[in-house]
Amino acid sequence: MKGTGIGSFGFVLINGEAIQGTINTKLQFNKDIFLLQFSACVGGCYDMKQTIQTVSGCPRTEAEWNVRAAMKNCAAMCSDFSYHCLITKEMNATIEVCAEPKYIQGYCTYFDTADDRIKGLYAADCSKYENRCPTRYHSTKAFLYQACYDLVRAYVTVRPSSTSSTLVITNTKDSTANPSNNTSEDISLAPIIIPIVLVLVIVIIAILILLKRRRRSTPTKRGKEAIDSFSGLKDSEEGTCLVGDTGAEVEEMSPDPSEDIIARIREEYEEKFKEMNKKIQLLKTQKENDTKDKEKLKRQVLEKNKECKTLNNRLQEAKGNIRVLCRIRKCESSNCTRSTKTTVTIDKSSKNHELPKTYTFERVFDTNSTQEEVYEEIRELIRSFLDGYNLCIFAYGQTGSGKTYTMEGPHGNDVEMKDDRGIIPRAMKQVFDMTGDLLVCGWTFQFRASYLELYNEEIRDLAKGSSDDVKHDIVGAKENKTIVTNIIEKEVKTTEEVLKFYKESSKNRTSSKTVRNERSSRSHAIFRLEMNGQVENIEGIKDTCSGTLTLVDLAGSERLDDSANTSTNNETKKINLSLLELTKVLRSLRIKEPPTYRSSKLTHLLKNSLGGNSKTLMIVNVSPSKECQKETERTLEFGREVSKVVLENIPRKNK
Ligand SMILES: Nc1ncnc2c1ncn2[C@@H]1O[C@H](COP(=O)(O)OP(=O)(O)OP(=O)(O)O)[C@@H](O)[C@H]1O
């Protein structure tokens, strides 16, 4: 035996609509040697309830799983939390998995005895993988497995058959590197390999524990168990950190299946959404006296709407409850960044022989990105607000990096329906269009808008403008919304009304000239839209739905010396202090310590949007200009920090 390698990859099969029958999945193996392991996730990773049950309860009895390893001469070692089978190429093995659920998920951990290339993988440069890991890969284990996956993927292809649910795993590795004439030797080595594998597993656990101690991060129980199931390792120590506390973490180890799942859920969602819209249009054209048909259509719309909600939530859970996107500002001057769809690379000075630094985000919008492209990425998330989740979108970045442009658009207060309008006017239109459509089937909605700014740690009600001489205090929270005293919460019924309110109020926002921006916003602007909806459902029972959409344009995050002007120094200090507190809160959420929200007004105000029943999206805005390089790096570091946050999944407030 020349060396011992270890790798793993996951696969996921989704049988779409055909839920009723049994799914028969055949796996054929013709690699040298595999440790096959089936674990977790009966019922689909995106169904939180079922995932919790299966991961924490481990109801993986032989009867439930009915896993039949139709293999001859197979050295099988089964543990009580997952199935392991050691398979060699010579066995020409085929495994049939029969299971009721919609999704089957399995993991195949692979050991290649004739390859030195994987040796020492666990001592690999983790930061290399960390940089490459999209937002939800920030876990010690996750990126180690990501590393394995990368290596294994290089010579294993997973090819789903177009006509049946058969996966054929073929060995595409260079045959000279693994001559077939030594396979009989592999078989005879099988009993030796098992102890080696076990030793290897122990070594991995030890390394992981060490790494975890250094990082001092804490996993969510479910996330940890999901990883354990994935790896087949159990360790009692705490320490790994996953982003997006959902069953989706398991898929995140192997990007392709996860992407695949997201694409399939989206496809299903879009299909249902289209069907619902068709029915809504039909309903709108129904004659007044056609009561019978109308009632039938109403019921169908309500049903479809429920299905859409479930699917959209699965989609958002799969993406993670806290997401970070990055946008690079348009720039005419020298550019220090390079970007792909998911990475930003900062080129360092060649004088100091510094290597370029790459940051990975779920999505990166380059200098040519349009407002529409940015909005398309978050359109589905806005739907979550209408489904009864608190949603917070905020723009973070250095002064002049394009935060206001992204949130509002380039026209200052003129936020009407122009092509380059930003997130706020687009979101308002989507919200009122979508709820307007649902009115035909009996839904009623009430919306209340408020617009506050935090300037020098003082809350101002922008809706009151200069006449606002009353003190505003945060007095706790009601129904998951932070309550602020003496503010205007205007009832709005249409897109036009809400945008008029926004436009009038934003005239009062505090701005001044800074080195980098003629009209720099010197305050955090927090626009909130509160929704309460009711409908009588199919069974005649009242169904309610409520949520708060918070859209935040943070003040510029530049360092003190960048602002130079002494009159703004105080402002800058306060801004930076509150941003620092925001970072601390996010860090606390990450390491599962209770955050001290009250240490700044900003975090106190955003309390209900940064934990618990909320979905959070941060857009880190950066300038690509060389002069801003240091600030750009700081911003990207911040974005990376946020992308490590784990949020609890608390049921939405839809009763
Ligand atoms: N993607 C873009 N395309 C075109 N122009 C842009 C883009 N991003 C920003 N700008 C322009 O750059 C200038 C500064 O942008 P903006 O005011 O949005 O920055 P900011 O981050 O909000 O700054 P501050 O924190 O100082 O308020 C504005 O004139 C804006 O119109």
**Rounded to 5, what percent of the chain is helix, strand, coil?**
40, 25, 35
Q: Would you say the CB of residue 409 lies under 6 angstroms from ligand 1?
A: no
Secondary structure (H, E, C), 324-382: EEEEECCCCCCECEEECCCEEEECCCCCCCCCCEEEECCEEECCCCCHHHHHHHHHHHH
Q: Is the pLDDT of residue 495 over 50?
A: yes
Give, for ligand 1, the residue of 405, 557, 618, 622 to mutate: max count of ligand atoms closer than 8 Å to Cβ: 405
**Cα angle, residue 478 at apex, residues 473 and 482 outer, rounded to 5°:** 40
Q: Mean per-residue pLDDT for 234-256? A: 27
Q: How far is CA 582 from CA 239, 429, 533, 587, in A?
A: 23, 30, 31, 9
Q: Mean per-residue pLDDT for 340-355? A: 78
Q: Are 249 and 138 in contact (CB under 8 A)?
A: no
Q: Would you say the CB of residue 521 lies under 6 angstroms from ligand 1?
A: yes
Query: What band does 465 get if pLDDT is binned at 50, 70 and 90?
Result: confident
Q: Which of 115-124, 272-281, 547-556, 597-606 has the lowest mean pLDDT?
A: 115-124
Q: Is the ipTM of this complex over 0.85?
A: yes
Of residues 274 and 33, which shows the higher confidence score? 274
Encode pLDDT of 384-438 as tens digits: 888 888 899 989 998 889 999 999 988 665 656 677 899 999 999 999 998 888 8
Q: Would you say the CB of residue 402 lies under 6 angstroms from ligand 1?
A: yes
Encode pLDDT of 128-186 as tens digits: 333 332 322 233 333 334 433 433 332 222 222 222 222 333 322 333 333 333 333 33
> What pLDDT score does 192 carry?
64
Q: Would you say the CB of residue 220 lies under 6 angstroms from ligand 1?
A: no
Distance (Å) from CA 331 to ligand 1 centroid? 10
Closest among 421, 327, 417 to 369, alpha carbons compared: 327
Sheet containing 75-78: order of strands: 7-14, 103-110, 33-38, 83-88, 75-78
> What pLDDT score does 613 carry?
67
**401 belongs to an annotated ligand binding site:** yes
Could you give the 3-state DSSP secondary structure of residue 262? helix
Query: What band does 568 get if pLDDT is binned at 50, 70 and 90?
Result: low
Helices (H), 439-492: none
> What pLDDT score does 497 carry?
94
> What pLDDT score does 512 carry?
57
Encode pLDDT of 108-138 as tens digits: 333 333 333 333 332 233 333 333 323 222 3
> What pLDDT score does 393 carry?
94
Encode pLDDT of 533-558 as tens digits: 988 776 677 888 888 999 999 988 76
> What pLDDT score does 489 carry?
93
Among the ranges 198-202, 219-223, 237-241, 577-581, which has the highest mean pLDDT value? 577-581
Give, for ligand 1, the residue of 333, 404, 574 to mutate: max count of ligand atoms closer than 8 Å to Cβ: 404
Ligand 1 atom showing the smallest separation from residue 405 Cα: 18
Query: What band does 59 get if pLDDT is binned at 50, 70 and 90?
Result: very low
Ligand 1 atom showing the smallest separation from residue 406 Cα: 18
Q: Which residue pairs from 365-371 have beta carbons closer than 8 angstroms and sit at least 24 positions apart in sequence?
A: 365/325, 365/326, 365/327, 365/328, 366/328, 366/339, 367/328, 367/329, 367/330, 367/331, 367/335, 367/624, 368/330, 369/327, 369/328, 370/420, 371/406, 371/409, 371/419, 371/420, 371/421, 371/422, 371/423, 371/426
What are the tokens at 226?
């999901």
Could you give the 3-state DSSP secondary structure of residue 199? helix
> What pLDDT score does 165 carry?
28
pTM over 0.90: no
Q: C-alpha 458: how far from its chain's center?
A: 32
- 535 has which bridge partners? 543
Q: Would you say the CB of residue 621 lies under 6 angstroms from ligand 1?
A: yes
> What pLDDT score does 506 carry?
85
Contacts of 512 (CB under 8 A, 6+ apart): 520, 522, 568, 571
Distance (Å) from CA 554 to ligand 1 centroid? 13
In angstroms, the CA 640 to CA 323 distance is: 10
Q: What is the mean pLDDT of the chain?
A: 63
Give, for ligand 1, the residue of 326, 517, 520, 579 to mutate: max count of ligand atoms closer than 8 Å to Cβ: 517
Q: Would you say the CB of residue 523 lies under 6 angstroms from ligand 1?
A: no
Q: Cα torsion at 496, 502, 503, 509 (round to 10°)?
A: 180
Secondary structure (H, E, C), 77-96: EECCCCEEEEEEHHHCCEEE
**397 belongs to an annotated ligand binding site:** yes
Query: What band does 595 get if pLDDT is binned at 50, 70 and 90?
Result: confident
Q: Is the pLDDT of residue 354 over 60?
A: yes
> What pLDDT score does 417 carry?
63
In angstroms, the CA 590 to CA 588 distance is: 5
Distance (Å) from CA 517 to ligand 1 centroid? 8
Distance (Å) from CA 405 to ligand 1 centroid? 5
Q: Would you say the CB of residue 394 lies under 6 angstroms from ligand 1?
A: no
Q: Is the pLDDT of residue 654 over 60?
A: no
Give, for ligand 1, the residue of 326, 329, 332, 510 to mutate: max count of ligand atoms closer than 8 Å to Cβ: 329
Closest among 483, 502, 460 to 605, alpha carbons compared: 483
Amino acid at 131: N
Q: Would you say the CB of residue 635 lies under 6 angstroms from ligand 1?
A: no
**399 belongs to an annotated ligand binding site:** yes
Distance (Å) from CA 481 to ligand 1 centroid? 30
Could you give the 3-state DSSP secondary structure of residue 132? helix
Q: Which of 63-67, 194-198, 500-504, 582-586 has the lowest mean pLDDT?
A: 63-67
Q: Would you say the CB of residue 624 lies under 6 angstroms from ligand 1?
A: no
Q: For the chain, give every domain's residue range.
A: 7-250, 321-642
Q: Mean per-residue pLDDT for 89-117? A: 37
Distance (Å) from CA 339 to ligand 1 centroid? 19
Give the residue, by CA position, lying nearest to ligand 1 atom 8: 402
> What pLDDT score does 480 carry?
67
Ligand 1 atom showing the smallest separation from residue 554 Cα: 25
Percent of the chain clearing pLDDT 70 (strictly above)? 52
> What pLDDT score does 353 carry?
66
Distance (Å) from CA 382 to ligand 1 centroid? 23
Please check whether the domain covering 321-642 is classified as CATH 3.10.450.50: no
Q: Cα torsion at 608, 614, 615, 619 (round to 10°)?
A: 0
> How many Å is the Cα radius of gyration of the chain?
27
